[in-house]
Amino acid sequence: MPVFLTACPRNCYSTCAMRVTVEDGRLRRIENVSENLATPEGPCLKGLSYVERAHSPDRITHPLVRSGQGFSEVTWDEALDRISASLTRIRQEHGPQALLYYTGSGTKGLLNACGLAFWRLFGGCTTAYGDLCWPAGLEATRLTLGANEHNAPWDLQNARLVVFWGKNAAETNVHQMAHLQAAIENGARVVVIDPRRTETAQRAGLILQPRPGTDGVIALAVAHLLFRGNLVDRDFLATHVLGAGAYEEMVREYTPERAAQIAEVPRRSIEKLAQLFGTVHPITIVPGFGMQRFTNSGQTMRSILALLALTGQIGKPGAGWMYANLQTAVFHPVKDPIDFYPPEKPDGVVRVGISTARLGRDMLALKDPALKAAWVERGNPIPQNPETPLVLEAFRKLEFRVVVEEFLTDTAREADVVLPAKNLFEQTDVIGAYWHPYLQIREKVLEPPPEVRPETEIYRSLGRRLGLSEDVLAAALPGPSDAAVEVWLEKKLEPFGLSLADLRKGPVLAPGAREVAFSDLRFPTPSGKIELISEEARTRWGLDELPRYTEPVESPKRSDRYPFHFLTPNTKNRIHSQFGNLETIRRMAPAPTAALHPEDAAALGVTEGTRIRIFNDRGELFLPAVLDWGLRRRCVCVPNGWWITDGGAVNVLSEGRETDMGFGAAFHDNMVAVEKAASA
Ligand SMILES: Nc1nc2c(c(=O)[nH]1)N[C@H]1C(S)=C(S)[C@@H](COP(=O)(O)OP(=O)(O)OC[C@H]3O[C@@H](n4cnc5c(=O)[nH]c(N)nc54)[C@H](O)[C@@H]3O)O[C@H]1N2
Ligand SMILES: Nc1nc2c(c(=O)[nH]1)N[C@H]1C(S)=C(S)[C@@H](COP(=O)(O)OP(=O)(O)OC[C@H]3O[C@@H](n4cnc5c(=O)[nH]c(N)nc54)[C@H](O)[C@@H]3O)O[C@H]1N2
Ligand SMILES: [Mo]
């Protein structure tokens, strides 16, 4: 039976290598690839569920056109006629920028670039700036260190203090737990800082459960104690750090007493944390993405990262800031969140005119031209972007919508035409990662179902309909044959002395990748040093040059109308809104629930299984309660990714708000009230 090396392209830290066995056109088996030192154990349950997903009866395998309340299967000719007629009319009446080209994080790969190349040929389009995922943290890191790089995942074993700060690796990066285990066996101490006592926290010797959105003040108080106790590395500060003096001055006011009061954690825990930072080295901080989904979180991330600068814990084995490792992003001209900024000079073709965080609101408000059509690819914005009701309204107001999808998601259900998307086994591509430093091949191992076309071919056939010549299309789009796609990929690899044949042998370290990031202690910031004080924080974002603490916009300190924090983290058995529709996954997580602390539940007259109403000005959600002693009080937690059709779409409650820097989405800046549902 043929066996192939490939890799999982989902938006996940691990980006596992996998060996797949194919028989009679079906995926039979998925195994680990021990040569990938970051993920030697192989795929998680989601990865294994590909044997179901690739052949799922729910998969969209024909173009669909809306008819009445549902959809009918049509031929490609009919679908393309319909699309080209609508788009041509809209382009004629309103210009090409009346079309929104929206992409999400559904799959990694170099071929994703073909979409924008096509819309340029169309004459242009509108796109969104920002990103739902991680930009506040990326920007905070860029401002401080100059680049987003970190030590290789397996270097964690060299750390003696590991601080998981707002990351739940046991669910979102399972492979990291094996590297943590190695560190623990080498004697490492583990700290977890998270309002929830997560699975990751089971490995911790010290747990802090702060009020959501207040981590910054904890970090500032730790800095205060490090200076007070003379536990900072004065030599490192003098040589490699900008602004240490101003920082010392600034943190004077952040006493542990004050921080304990604001963050609502014991003062002694803050002191213990400072003592660990001051004495147990090397230190790796593993900051998560969950913590940077607040309106104050860029500054929060800067203040946490500062602790490594103060203690000289950067640029050596076992030390550093394991946020995002963009060492594999070698194919892009820029590797950093600058990718997410609207361009300084509009090019008149692609209008980068909408904030991803405010998708619905901005779609509705856009003028000259107003939006009339949308093309959605690799994303499920209706449940996943903030303010689901407004996103829905904005999509419904359009004249025409196309969604390219594998499954009939909440977003696909709003389309006029749904085009079937290829899956990860049906076209060869090259993928990077944002945790480990490997480039990997994502191999074509299956023929797509007869009526499924990869995006490259969708665009080619639409291009023909729109009257573009074969030459023009060939210059912009890889393909049409698999061999031609490979030639296109080879051209991308060639400048680095690499080929697909190399990647077929196993995961390849990205050119220039360093096992220990910043080992030369050179930082590509304006000053060449680690910047604790950042002019760009002020000039670009209008923020304080020092990361002083500010309350999140939605806070119990401002109003007690909605007393609960709404936490919507990621969960083990899904990647955002993907996988939840599969039998394999449903067996583990059949339906959405909302976690509450038992004492809060008791006060509300709620017991396990009681239907509760979670609500605020923006919307409401009805879910059965589950009681969790490990959750901080006054928090209610529902993992994101459930569909509207599952009854658990969490973004009906969030507001479309940007983070303080980087154009991220402040999903967790979200206060709600909870009550026993009337119908319960
Ligand atoms: N299984 C699985 N893995 C995934 C994903 C997935 O959906 N499923 N998604 C991938 C992607 S795209 C992402 S962005 C990452 C995200 O994965 P993580 O980086 O782990 O981020 P989240 O799950 O958003 O949040 C992590 C933790 O932050 C906590 N948190 C929330 N607010 C605060 C706060 O104010 N302070 C602190 N200290 N903690 C807080 C939450 O309780 C949660 O446990 O995971 C990736 N990996
Ligand atoms: N409240 C709240 N909301 C959140 C978050 C949160 O923490 N809280 N997290 C946010 C984060 S970190 C992220 S990354 C986003 C994720 O949100 P999205 O970027 O929208 O990602 P997914 O939900 O994974 O949806 C991706 C879709 O792409 C489709 N797809 C997969 N492969 C292909 C392909 O090859 N071609 C095409 N055309 N389609 C494909 C999948 O079927 C799936 O429906 O959600 C965000 N939303
Ligand atoms: Mo994400």
CA atoms within 13 A on the CB side of 489: 27
**Which-ligand-closest: CA of 376?**
2
Q: What is the DSSP string of 383-411?
A: HHSS-HHHHHHHHHHSSEEEEEESS--TT
Structure-derived torsion over alpha carbons of residues 184, 186, 189, 195, reported in degrees to the nearest 10: -30
* Owner of token pair 């051209």: 491
The ligand 1 atom at the shortest distance from the C-alpha of residue 640 is 7
CA-proximal residue: ligand 1, atom 44 (nearest): 168
The ligand 2 atom at the shortest distance from the C-alpha of residue 289 is 12
pLDDT value at position 1?
A: 81
Query: How many angstroms separate the alpha carbon of residue 132 from the centre of ligand 2?
Result: 9
Using DSSP, how many helices (H) and how many strands (E) does the chain show?
A: 23, 27
Query: How many angstroms separate the alpha carbon of residue 133 from the centre of ligand 2?
Result: 10
Within 6 A (CB) of ligand 1 lie: 11-13, 133-134, 165-168, 171-173, 193-196, 198, 210, 212-213, 215, 288-291, 567, 569-572, 574-576, 668
The ligand 2 atom at the shortest distance from the C-alpha of residue 576 is 23
pLDDT value at position 335?
A: 65
CA-proximal residue: ligand 2, atom 13 (nearest): 133
Query: How many angstroms separate the alpha carbon of residue 174 from the centre of ligand 1?
Result: 12
**pLDDT tier, 334 (very low <50, low <70, confident <90, very high otherwise):** low
Query: How many angstroms separate the alpha carbon of residue 569 from the centre of ligand 2?
Result: 14
The ligand 2 atom at the shortest distance from the C-alpha of residue 423 is 35
Q: Is the pLDDT of residue 680 over 60?
A: no
Query: How many angstroms separate the alpha carbon of residue 380 from the centre of ligand 2?
Result: 5
pLDDT value at position 69?
A: 86
The ligand 1 atom at the shortest distance from the C-alpha of residue 641 is 7
CA atoms within 13 A on the CB side of 216: 22
Q: What is the DSSP string of 609-646?
A: T-EEEEEETTEEEEEEEEE-TTBPTTEEE--TT--GGG
From 53, 60, 59, select the one nearest 26 (Cα to Cα): 53
Ligand 1 binding pocket mutation candidate from 297, 570, 651 (most atoms within 8 A of CB): 570
Euclidean distance between the first and final Cα of the chain, in Å? Answer: 54
CB atoms within 10 A of CB 230: 8
Query: How many angstroms separate the alpha carbon of residue 495 from the centre of ligand 3?
Result: 30
CA 107 to centroid of chain Cα atoms: 12
pLDDT in tens, 160-174: 999 999 999 999 999
Helix runs in 186-255, H state only: 215-228, 234-240, 244-251
> For residues 86 and 489, what is the distance between their CA atoms, to the nearest angstrom?
33
Within 6 A (CB) of ligand 2 lie: 11, 104-107, 132-133, 289, 293, 377-381, 384, 404-407, 409, 421-422, 568, 575-578, 640, 650-651, 654, 667
When pLDDT is averaged across residues 429-441 and rounded to a whole number, the result is: 97
pLDDT in tens, 472-511: 999 999 999 999 999 999 999 999 999 999 999 999 999 9
Query: How many angstroms separate the alpha carbon of residue 173 from the centre of ligand 1?
Result: 10
CA-proximal residue: ligand 1, atom 46 (nearest): 12
Q: Is the pLDDT of residue 9 over 80?
A: yes
From 597, 46, 482, 130, select the one nearest 338 (Cα to Cα): 130
pLDDT value at position 244?
A: 98
From 465, 166, 488, 492, select the one nearest 328 (Cα to Cα): 492
Q: Is the pLDDT of residue 579 over 60?
A: yes
Cβ distance 445 to 27 under 8 Å? yes
Average per-residue pLDDT in the chain? 97
Q: Is the pLDDT of residue 29 over 80?
A: yes
The ligand 2 atom at the shortest distance from the C-alpha of residue 651 is 1
pLDDT value at position 340?
A: 87
pLDDT value at position 374?
A: 98
Q: Is the pLDDT of residue 337 over 80?
A: no
**Before 282, cis peptide (omega within 30)?**
yes
Ligand 2 binding pocket mutation candidate from 15, 61, 111, 384 (most atoms within 8 A of CB): 384
Cβ distance 194 to 168 under 8 Å? yes
In order of their start, the domains of the chain are 64-130+341-509 (3.40.50.740), 135-326+516-541 (3.40.228.10), 564-676 (2.40.40.20)
Three-class DSSP category at 287:
strand
The ligand 1 atom at the shortest distance from the C-alpha of residue 211 is 35
pLDDT in tens, 342-382: 988 989 999 999 999 999 999 999 999 999 999 999 999 99
Cβ distance 650 to 616 under 8 Å? no
* Owner of token pair 């599969």: 582
